[in-house]
Amino acid sequence: MLRQIDQRLCKAAISARHNAYAPYSKFKVGAAILDEFDNIHLGVNVENAAYPQGSCAEAGAISAMIAAGGQQIKVIAVSGAGVELCTPCGGCRQRIREFANPQTEILICNELAFARRFLLEELLPASFGPDNLNT
């Protein structure tokens, strides 16, 4: 059973997904982050004709969180379409790790509803994070 906040995050990610800018791949992704102040921050993928210049939904949500004064991801939801799970790419897993701990929950949603829950450490095992740089 999903917690109420998980339902809100999935709904927010699914809704945000509709605003993604994906004219080339047609694969829209939305993300919603719950920060340490219980604020929700949204992001969408934004493609560019120069493909390497696009940005992922998770990166957009992280930027929105930082711009609003948050610094800790409590939970993140990601929404994509199709039968396969739309989990964060490798780069975004590392971006999430910068602002989350290995036990942070990542909710994966399709275009309609929640599909599966992961812990960050399941998607990015033996990760390198800010704590590795503390001497």
45 pLDDT more than 70? yes
Catalytic residue from among 36, 58, 105, 121: 58
Does the residue 105 lie in any domain?
A: yes
Does the residue 77 lie in any domain?
A: yes
Q: What are the Cα distances from residue 117, in Å, to 2, 53, 63, 75?
A: 10, 29, 23, 10
- Among residues 66, 68, 67, 57, which one has the least CA distance to residue 106? 57
Give per-residue pLDDT as tens, 72-117.
999 999 999 999 999 999 999 999 999 999 999 999 999 999 999 9
Let me know if 58 is a catalytic residue.
yes
CATH, residue 55: 3.40.140.10
Does the residue 133 lie in any domain?
A: no
Residue showing tokens 């991801």: 73
30 pLDDT more than 80? yes
Does the residue 134 lie in any domain?
A: no
Does the residue 106 lie in any domain?
A: yes
Report the domain count for the chain. Answer: 1
By percentage, how much of the chain surpasses pLDDT 70?
A: 99
Domain hosting 43: range is 4-128
Does the residue 65 lie in any domain?
A: yes
Half-sphere exposure of 90 (CA within 13 A, CB side): 0
